[in-house]
Amino acid sequence: MDSIDVTVLHHAVDWLKAGRRVALVTVTRTWGSSPRPVGAWLAMRDDGVVSGSVSGGCIEDDLMERARAQILTGERPEVATYGVSAEEARRFGLPCGGTMQLVIEPLAGDASLTAMIELRDQIADGNLIARELDLASGRARLRHALPDEQLRFDGKTLVSVHGPRYRLLIIGAGDLSRFLAVMASGLGYQVTVCDPREEYADAWSMPVVRIVRTMPDDTVLDMRLDGHSAVVALTHDPKLDDLALIDALQTDAFYVAAIGSRRNSDARRERLRLFDLNDAQLARLHGPAGIYIGSRTPPEIAVSIAAEMTAARNGVRLPHSLEVAQAKRELEPGALCPVLAEAH
């Protein structure tokens, strides 16, 4: 569940508390290009105020008209499909003839409010929750979701998954960690910052981020990293970074990275090789962390790391020329440009 959908949930709770009726819209299927992924949410208040999105705006306009006419006065969820024909795709601004299927669920009264508050609190506690909505009755129930469970809709029951599907462990509680933690939280990660150094951990104050003071390698083991986990080491201190990286590289974490210069990154790899990490495990280490964008300041470096982590999360293989070490080599005096290097 990304941060946009968390915001949608908070707005829905606030509106229900104020006694308003709300339509909760879930993207259940897409064909072709789609502005928002399956599982995305939109909440619409009975006066047309909207939180979130399911398209670039045209579908939202039509939903407002439907809401005023019938959706918000009904008691049962309904299914709507947009973009079936080329004419309708053009009308609603769907790119490349895309098609979207939506489930539109009316919410009102104390029962809906209690259910939405329970979902909000479960997510805030870091739980991965499945919400099963029966379209015939309009009733929904919550349960703990399986780690790899995805949204399912068979026309009768909608099972949507909510909560922090991805986790990020940041080693070090410095300025760069703050910027990266903010960005990662916005990208939907459950962020843990680990730093046993009192002078850093004591100054940390980000309520949405968990801070732990244990040794980083112990934290890696305690978190039981899986394929939805990422680790970024930012302390520059081998005593803290290296042991954690050794353990992290032996897990299924989809992204493991460490900050440092090219020289320090090469030295780190040589140190890690002494701990019986094989070539395949060492090859998984992103270092220097991030992609090359000429970054110098902590927020710029955080952007570059977040970009590389996002590419890894989405299974995108970035060009070799975007790696920090390779890009800097190509910028050195006398270095061949990539095209000429290919010719040689």
> What is the pTM (predicted TM-score) of this model?
0.68
Encode pLDDT of 74-128 as tens digits. Answer: 788 999 888 755 565 555 555 545 678 899 999 999 999 999 999 999 988 878 8
Residue 263 confidence (pLDDT) above 60 = yes
Give pLDDT tens digits for 200-239: 878 787 877 889 999 999 999 999 998 889 999 999 899 9
Residue range 166-329 forms a domain whose CATH class is: alpha beta
Token digits for 113? 């409010």
CATH 3.40.50.720 boundaries in the chain: 166-329
Top pLDDT among 336 and 32 is at 32
Q: Look at residue 335 in the predicted model and tell me its pLDDT.
A: 54
